[in-house]
Structure 1
Amino acid sequence: MSVNSFGAKSNLEVNGTSYEIFRLDAVPGHEKLPFSLKVLLENLLRTEDGQNITADDIKALGSWDATGDSDHEIQFTPARVIMQDFTGVPCVVDLATMREAMVDLGGDPAKINPLSPAEMVIDHSVITEVFGIAGAFEANVDIEYQRNRERYQFLRWGQTAFDDFKVVPPGTGIVHQVNIENLARVIFPRTVDGVLQAYPDTCVGTDSHTTMVNGLGVVGWGVGGIEAEAAMLGQPVSMLIPRVVGFKLTGKLPEGTTATDLVLTITEMLREHKVVGKFVEFYGEGVTEVPLANRATIGNMSPEYGSTIAIFPIDDKTIDYMRLTGREEDQLALVEAYAKEQGLWHDPAVEPVYSEYIELDLSTIVPSIAGPKRPQDRIRLDESRVAFREAVAAFVGEPGHHDTEYSGYDAAVEGSMVASDPTGPDSHLVDESPAPADQGHSGLKRRVRKLVPVELPDGSEFELDHGAVTIASITSCTNTSNPSVMLGAALVAKKAVEKGLNRKPWVKTSLAPGSQVVTDYYEKAGLTKYLDAIGFNLVGYGCTTCIGNSGPLIPQVSKAINDHDLAVSAVLSGNRNFEGRINPDVKMNYLASPMLVIVYALAGTMDIDLFNDPIGQDQDGNDVFMRDIWPTQAEIEEVVGSSINADMFTERYADVFRGDERWRGLPTPEGKTFEWEDDSTYVRKPPYFEGMPAKPEPVADIEGARVLLKLGDSVTTDHISPAGAIKADSPAGKYLTENGVDRKDFNSYGSRRGNHEVMIRGTFANIRLRNQLAPGTEGGFTRDFTQADGPVNTVYDASINYAEQGTPLVVLSGKEYGSGSSRDWAAKGTSLLGVRVVIAESYERIHRSNLIGMGVLPLQFPEGETADSLGLTGEETFSFTGITGLNEGRTPKTVKVVATKGDGSEVSFDAVVRIDTPGERNYYLNGGIMQYVLRNLAAAA
């Protein structure tokens, strides 16, 4: 029950229906708050209970000081939780395990049940095994069900065993697109204690790109699975009142640019501005020029620039989009009436108060891509060839090429992939041809090339070079939710086919939309046949390439790449392009609009100037340029207007949780607790609660710890968390083989997240991870100091040896540790490997929180210090004193770290304790967030 200290409870009449609301104008200072903080303020008003949420918390938010950093902790209670299956399956596994642990503690297992609506969309399991043919979709879905039957049966059990938990079956769409098109309410109507309330829709999600819903004006962000579980069980999300960055938009996008160009520019700007842990809020006259789909694209990329959210306020565009996507008129009326009543409706003439300000004139946007390994590394398209040649040297595996210097443009080869190489396929050619004078470049001094002949089974022959585009994929919610760029891509395909162009034979092409509505409007526009003609056949409705589910390359292409160490490329319309993420054969990954994905598939190489070089030849042998097949904005708008209507969304989402015959035909286990199968390699009971006492033991200082990994800057959760394909000779592959799984049935790490045995073995095993403790290696290797001289061993096997000796483990790292997706297994795997402490120069918000949620202590090097500046090699033995201060009802600012070298000398320093809130301290004292929640629920029983 709400305490209602401010007398905020009131009523709102909308079309004859009365809703209970909590008025923001009851709180002094509310009028100066940014939109996002007004939503948080309403949340506190409505959930005030005098204990977790107090009048002082509400006053603190109402009197928010935009200029400073708040140290006031508030408890945010999201209206709902949204999950995808890779991260959601472990959530359900943990809830099932908690039910058994509750029984062990003498409680009622039914207490472990979502108290807020929880919705899961199965979208991460489909892999692009089959492509470029008419039956690719059905073939890939069949394979998906064969591989994931155990997981899907388990989720079917969860759907029946847990109240308020719904599952959107496979083959429906991508979680974030389904969220904005159907699940998001914007204003949430819900009966609470017999009273119909209306309040802002808010959510947390088990995918960092939950922020896509920010485009609709919904405050929501990605959390780890462990935080999501707590939210599902009624635990609020603990947070400090954030700084809010105001991002002013002016002007209008110029002809020839896309939403992708805009979002890549914003990503670059905000990463440079340093917005990690902050709210970003868009305002100004330019907001009205940004369509809802573009807003969603911008919100989606929030994790790429590090902000907690990147939100657009509610306005006419919001209502128009909700109407287009088939929401009921009563809901639209509620959204508009509530937003205007509560001061949540966007007024472009009003400039709110913000902590920081940044501005962008939309008219300055230019065509762009990003890569080759980070989304914030934007490249102007007209400089992409130069940038590629500057970057490729770092990816060429032979000595000397890392030092090759590039300084400009070269037009000697014009992007051809079939130039002759008289010196043989293993030779690197250095081209010193000067640039044409009119290009305005200084001339490309050195160019590394390596031409490898390839012959396909159909008899076609070609030569591969560094930079060959071997994957071109229209994939990921980021862009596939945007009709403008999706229909734009189809128009590019149409014009290309009419010119007689086709994809290059070495390119694996795929189309994986975020919802079935996309293929509906392709069909209505008559454009599907053109996409099919150049190999962009439908392969599935899921994330596919963007999350590493690209499937194998064309076999002969893969062999050539691996035999000759070619640095080839992927081009995708996604949001992530980290090293090792897209495909193990592909070293360089570029983000681009769906329209440019088509163009690069036709060109077949990154070593091309798309504004001046031909991308192919027409039926008569004439050069065809990108400008010849690029549609105008008027053409795109015309086909958007004639091809999309609300009925498409209404029909597709009418029975969204029912699924097809495959889903409905799965046998469904029953019962309050799950019957674990001893021989399952997909779903196993994890050990988190084994031997857990009803009350936690005091935390202790740590002695005799060893370094498991010493890492550099920008180590992402992709580097830490198991993802992608499972190699046969890896610890995880050997485990599966020992348990009778054939290599062809290994599936991906993501699909096996419900099996902790697989996931532990894949933690820190990314093929691009570089552990400075084991120089000369890439992947999951370290030095094992349980043996003389510390020989190189796998991370997993070394951790087992350390565990047998009772040795706690440490990870040392640089800046931005844990950036990227909110992967709970990045923290779970770290904990289960025996890591007790991480020391980094800085952290990404979600991963730091997740480490605490798994009982791992995050520490930070003193300001200005690094592992190297302190002389740490990773061979030392570490002790940590002062941790016991946490038992005294406070969080110490620092703990003393002493690193003892082999010769007995010591390095000591005071590391900053990055337990930032009292709530996080409680989690750490309990050994993790799940243990904390379980003990509280058991005690309340």
Structure 2
Amino acid sequence: MATTDSFGARGTIQAGGAEHEIFRLSAVEGAERLPFSLKVLLENLLRTEDGANVTADHIRALAGWDPSAEPDTEIQFTPARVIMQDFTGVPCVVDLATMREAVTELGGDPAKVNPLAPAELVIDHSVIIDVFGSADAFERNVDYEYARNKERYQFLRWGQGAFDEFKVVPPGTGIVHQVNIEHLARVVMTRNGQAYPDTLVGTDSHTTMVNGLGVLGWGVGGIEAEAAMLGQPVSMLIPKVVGFKLTGEIPAGATATDVVLTITEMLRRRGVVGKFVEFYGEGVGAVPLANRATIGNMSPEFGSTAAIFPIDDETIRYMKLTGRPAAQLELTEAYAREQGLWHDPSREPVFSETLELDLSTVVPSIAGPKRPQDRIALSQSKEAFRSVLGDYAGAPDQDDPDDAASSGSSVDESVEETFPASDPASPSAHGNGDSGKPRDPISAASGAHGRVSRPTTVTTASGASFEIDHGAVVIASITSCTNTSNPSVMLGAALLAKNAVDRGLAVKPWVKTSMAPGSKVVTDYYEKAGLWPYLEKLGYHLVGYGCTTCIGNSGPLSDEISAAVNEADLAVASVLSGNRNFEGRINPDVKMNYLASPPLVIAYALAGTMDFDFETQPLGTATDGTEVFLRDIWPSATDVQNTIDSSISQEMFTKDYADVFAGDERWKGLPTPEGDTFDWDPQSTYVRKPPYFERMSPDPSPVSDISGARVLALLGDSVTTDHISPAGAIKPGTPAAEYLTGHGVEKKDFNSFGSRRGNHEVMIRGTFANIRLKNQLLDDVSGGYTRDFTQEGAPQAFIYDAAQNYAAAGTPLVVLGGKEYGSGSSRDWAAKGTALLGVKAVIVESFERIHRSNLIGMGVVPLQFPQGESASSLGLDGTETFDIAGITALNDGSTPRTVAVTATKGDGSTIEFDAVVRIDTPGEADYYRNGGILQYVLRGMLRS
């Protein structure tokens, strides 16, 4: 509750059958001119003004926002709630449980370690597609899921009982972001007698999906989310806001997925990292809510903090459809109109910059083979595939010249080359991987590998025989909340399946097919529309309600196909309806990954290869002998809309979400520990007490400069959090696998890194362990390796093993990198693992927003090379010893703009430069002084 009301904004509103206290934006001069998203932030400051963290000056600064100014004013944003998925949520609850013990040991009250804001966790990241293409796939996959994750799920059930304001949506229910928009999101919150905008932070970067509902929120690291749960505001700079106008209508043949891939391409080229994107104009009202959510979901892919639509009639229509109570609908509209948050297309807010997309110019598209922003017009997909095949065909992991972690070109440079300079929204503008002009496929492949084709025969256990080659689509998965939340593309895919089956078409036998809806409502409307049999005929049986393929839980390929791919070193592909296609993410056997709409996923399953032109090549032969092309089975927009209208009802949502936290009999039957503190099992390989608070004192020690540091990894551009902290399979023979084997875990039970985030011992050993990571300290080697300078001759070693040797020698570590370091998912373990390995500083050309913040939250200082400089331009090769001076200025309460870095080579020569300190706000400086955000929060609890 606010303790100050400098602007006299406090008032009341009568709506939804009750009176609510509100803080009127009209009380602040300048509020009416702000974009929607900044109005939400302004209300947040008005309501939480306390004269200390939030002052009248902060409110005036936001109301007087200069759209053209570079962000320089820090504000404290207090989100209304926190949302988590289980990969990132488990370590959050582990840390909260550990904090309870630490508070007790330091003489405090453990009951204070309790969420102060509603926190909801949806278990959706743990189901793996072990079984597919059969009627019992769902039940068997869930059985495997419970068997693998029993310890984690028992821990979460304990947390649900031990912590107030913490709820868990059990497995087999849906994907976090889809459950959020369909049920959890309030749009307008009511709490403690107040009504205010629903806002949130989430432990998944695609939290922005809820922006489609007019709810402001974004992804943060797990450590930031923990602090938010414990009442800490999120420190941020008042951002720039990019206005995005949508006009026209989506043409026949194009889908919402094609729209979002086009927007992703446009905004990544424009450069919106750290900015809000806000959609406005006459065309907004005609954009269905499902499409808005699809666009919002992809915000991390184009780099913005948020991508929000305002509240309007469509918002209310969707809330009604999804079963929100009538009182909630009334309050939402009344509150939004009262506060000037209701969309008025005749009024254009002031924006920092604007751009526009005429939806009628959108064409069917895919994106890949390794980045979401690399859009390819479907008409050019075969040519684009061939143009990059030479970079993948015959290139083993340790040789991969197109590795995202070692690419010589930056994201900005490669995307710039991809576009015509005149019109980035033109239908003819399409991405071609990292090349602007498609190369000749034969010469490209011949130059690197001698040939482009490598036909390989596969004989299955049942005796079937077929031939696969480079570009074979071995995974075609309908998955991920991005698209499974959208009935237009989901029913479009089902109707395409029906048309294909009616024509006698079949999926190629080497394709692993899967259907993983984002909620049970999808299953309901498939059944109501009578379309499940057609999907199943093509192998698209229900495999689970979870992220599956998009998060790396695609499950193994069949033994025969996996063996053929690896023995012939084939560059095979996956096609998925997801939002992420980074290297090494989808499946260890698959080098090329493409994003596509659900209908196109099925189309590629029918084609069986990326080396395919849908315009000129038939998908097969109909029962009457005629050739069948994609255009022959593509459903019309009218058919799709009629099916939506006849098969989706409000009752589906109210039924499926009636008791969403209760779970099935498996969940209810789990033995659950009790008590305020958790009884850690020393034998557990899933949940262990982390070491963050060991030997922690009530007061922080002074920060110190860094001397004698060695380079743990020298990395290139576009290193993602997938490279730093992989979420997928644990590879046998690696330190993480050896740890599990040493604790009696068999290979079949390794599970994934994502599922073991509650065990720091596994996660430290998995840090920088992605099979595609290219550490430039080594030549032609990929994976979690480095040079160990504690040993004679600095031999190759696992990164974990080398880090242990450095720790024993008392040697601090640094990591060097290129542009957009830490892009991708907001993985807390990418920062936690970095810190626990002994890395004290990360020096790169530029950071992704969340990862930079997470590094500070773990006590690692983020530094940038001088503008225009890089490790290469400065002559650094990673063999140097680093001294970093000037960090101690933080002890005086200030943050230095730069620090002096001296790199000493083996011959005694030195390279000196001033690195830019990327501790951007006073709040971040406080976290760093305390050794991390959790230590800062814990000490605050003790002081209070």
User: How would you bin the TM-score normalised by the shorter chain?
Assistant: over 0.9
User: How much does 1:397 deviate?
Assistant: 2.4
Q: 1:661 aligns with which of 661, 665, 670?
A: 665
Matched to 1:89, the amino acid is V
SS of residue in 1 equivalent to 2:678:
coil
User: How much does 1:285 deviate?
Assistant: 1.4
**1:286–1:362 contact (8 Å) kept in structure 2:** no
User: How much does 1:347 deviate?
Assistant: 1.2
User: How much does 1:398 deviate?
Assistant: 5.4
Q: 1:242 aligns with which of 239, 244, 247?
A: 239
SS of residue in 1 equivalent to 2:391:
helix
Matched to 1:166, the amino acid is K
Q: Distance in 1 between matches of 2:50 and 2:92?
A: 28
Runs of 4+ that moved beyond 3 A: 398-403, 440-447
- Superposed, 1:507-656 pairs within 5 Å as 507-656=511-660
TM-score by length of structure 1 reads 0.95
Structure 1, 14-23 or 759-768: larger mean CA deviation: 14-23
User: How much does 1:351 deviate?
Assistant: 1.3
Q: Does 1:331 align with 2:328?
A: yes
Q: Does 1:487 align with 2:491?
A: yes
User: How much does 1:770 deviate?
Assistant: 0.5
Q: Distance in 2 between matches of 1:328 and 1:28?
A: 34
Q: 1:878 aligns with which of 856, 876, 882?
A: 882
Q: Which residue of 2 aligns with 1:462?
A: 466
Q: Which residue of 1 aligns with 2:916?
A: 912
Number of paired residues? 900
Q: Which residue of 1 aligns with 2:424?
A: none
Q: Distance in 2 between matches of 1:616 and 1:402?
A: 36
Matched to 1:633, the amino acid is A
**1:722–1:825 contact (8 Å) kept in structure 2:** no
Q: Distance in 2 between matches of 1:937 and 1:714?
A: 38
Q: Which residue of 2 aligns with 1:283?
A: 280
Q: Does 1:57 align with 2:77?
A: no
Task: Provide, for residues 15-57 of structure 1, a one-character-per-residue CA deviation record: whole Å limited to 9, x for no partner.
Answer: 4421110000111110110000000000000000111011111
**2:384–2:438 contact (8 Å) kept in structure 1:** no
Q: Distance in 1 between matches of 2:705 and 2:561?
A: 54
Q: 1:524 to 1:797 in 2, by over 3 A?
A: same
Q: Which residue of 2 aligns with 1:504?
A: 508
Q: Distance in 2 between matches of 1:938 and 1:598?
A: 57
Q: Distance in 2 between matches of 1:620 and 1:393?
A: 39
User: How much does 1:742 deviate?
Assistant: 0.7
**1:186–1:218 contact (8 Å) kept in structure 2:** yes
Matched to 1:6, the amino acid is F
Q: Distance in 2 between matches of 1:443 and 1:705?
A: 46
Q: Which residue of 1 aligns with 2:738?
A: 734
Q: 1:359 aligns with which of 356, 361, 373?
A: 356
- Superposed, 1:144-543 pairs within 5 Å as 144-191=145-192, 196-397=193-394, 446=443, 448-543=452-547
Q: Distance in 2 between matches of 1:456 and 1:288?
A: 52
SS of residue in 1 equivalent to 2:872:
coil
SS of residue in 2 equivalent to 1:922:
helix
Q: Which residue of 2 aligns with 1:17?
A: 18
Q: Which residue of 1 aligns with 2:903?
A: 899
Q: Distance in 1 between matches of 2:283 and 2:797?
A: 55
Q: 2:872 aligns with which of 868, 872, 888?
A: 868
Q: Does 1:685 align with 2:689?
A: yes
Q: Distance in 2 between matches of 1:276 and 1:645?
A: 38
Q: Distance in 2 between matches of 1:562 and 1:442?
A: 26
Task: Provide, for residues 238-269 of structure 1, a one-character-per-residue CA deviation record: whole Å limited to 9, x for no partner.
Answer: 00100001111111111111000000000000
Q: Does 1:768 align with 2:781?
A: no
Q: Distance in 2 between matches of 1:154 and 1:722?
A: 23
Q: Distance in 1 between matches of 2:805 and 2:74?
A: 41
Q: 1:815 aligns with which of 804, 819, 823?
A: 819
**1:70–1:242 contact (8 Å) kept in structure 2:** yes
Q: Distance in 1 between matches of 2:45 and 2:401?
A: 55
Q: Distance in 1 between matches of 2:344 and 2:106?
A: 54
Q: Distance in 1 between matches of 2:389 and 2:200?
A: 41
Q: 2:847 aligns with which of 835, 843, 846?
A: 843
Structure 1, 837-846 or 6-15: larger mean CA deviation: 6-15
**1:393–1:402 contact (8 Å) kept in structure 2:** no
Q: 1:726 to 1:869 in 2, by over 3 A?
A: same
Identity across matched positions, percent: 72
Q: Does 1:74 align with 2:75?
A: yes
Q: Which residue of 2 aligns with 1:437?
A: none
Q: Which residue of 1 aligns with 2:28?
A: 27
Matched to 1:584, the amino acid is P
SS of residue in 1 equivalent to 2:278:
strand
Q: 1:396 to 1:441 in 2, by over 3 A?
A: closer
Task: Provide, for residues 432-476 of structure 1, a one-character-per-residue CA deviation record: whole Å limited to 9, x for no partner.
Answer: xxxxxxxx9998654711100111122221111000000000000
SS of residue in 1 equivalent to 2:874:
coil
SS of residue in 2 equivalent to 1:449:
coil
User: How much does 1:549 deviate?
Assistant: 0.1
Q: Which residue of 1 aligns with 2:791?
A: 787
Q: Distance in 2 between matches of 1:483 and 1:275?
A: 29
Matched to 1:292, the amino acid is L
Q: Which residue of 1 aligns with 2:830?
A: 826
Matched to 1:57, the amino acid is H
Q: 1:9 to 1:125 in 2, by over 3 A?
A: same
Q: Distance in 2 between matches of 1:839 and 1:356?
A: 31
**1:472–1:597 contact (8 Å) kept in structure 2:** yes
Task: Provide, for residues 705-737 of structure 1, a one-character-per-residue CA deviation record: whole Å limited to 9, x for no partner.
Answer: 000000000000010013100111111000000
User: How much does 1:70 deviate?
Assistant: 2.6
User: How much does 1:590 deviate?
Assistant: 0.1
User: How much does 1:402 deviate?
Assistant: 7.4
Q: Distance in 2 between matches of 1:441 and 1:752?
A: 42
Q: Distance in 1 between matches of 2:306 and 2:400?
A: 41
Matched to 1:102, the amino acid is V
**1:732–1:762 contact (8 Å) kept in structure 2:** yes
SS of residue in 2 equivalent to 1:539:
coil
Q: Distance in 1 between matches of 2:705 and 2:401?
A: 44
SS of residue in 1 equivalent to 2:200:
strand
Q: Distance in 1 between matches of 2:620 and 2:231?
A: 58
SS of residue in 2 equivalent to 1:61:
helix
Matched to 1:272, the amino acid is R
Q: Which residue of 2 aligns with 1:888?
A: 892
Q: 1:442 to 1:688 in 2, by over 3 A?
A: closer
- RMSD of aligned alpha carbons: 1.3
**2:48–2:78 contact (8 Å) kept in structure 1:** yes
**2:388–2:441 contact (8 Å) kept in structure 1:** no
**1:722–1:759 contact (8 Å) kept in structure 2:** no
Structure 1, 392-401 or 358-367: larger mean CA deviation: 392-401
SS of residue in 2 equivalent to 1:649:
helix
**2:387–2:438 contact (8 Å) kept in structure 1:** no
Q: Which residue of 1 aligns with 2:415?
A: none
Q: Distance in 2 between matches of 1:732 and 1:610?
A: 44
Task: Provide, for residues 415-441 of structure 1, a one-character-per-residue CA deviation record: whole Å limited to 9, x for no partner.
Answer: xxxxxxxxxxxxxxxxxxxxxxxxx99
Q: Distance in 1 between matches of 2:898 and 2:145?
A: 49
Q: Distance in 2 between matches of 1:402 and 1:706?
A: 26
Task: Provide, for residues 388-430 of structure 1, a one-character-per-residue CA deviation record: whole Å limited to 9, x for no partner.
Answer: 0011110122599979xxxxxxxxxxxxxxxxxxxxxxxxxxx
Matched to 1:606, the amino acid is M
Matched to 1:284, the amino acid is G
Task: Provide, for residues 301-321 of structure 1, a one-character-per-residue CA deviation record: whole Å limited to 9, x for no partner.
Answer: 000011000000001110011
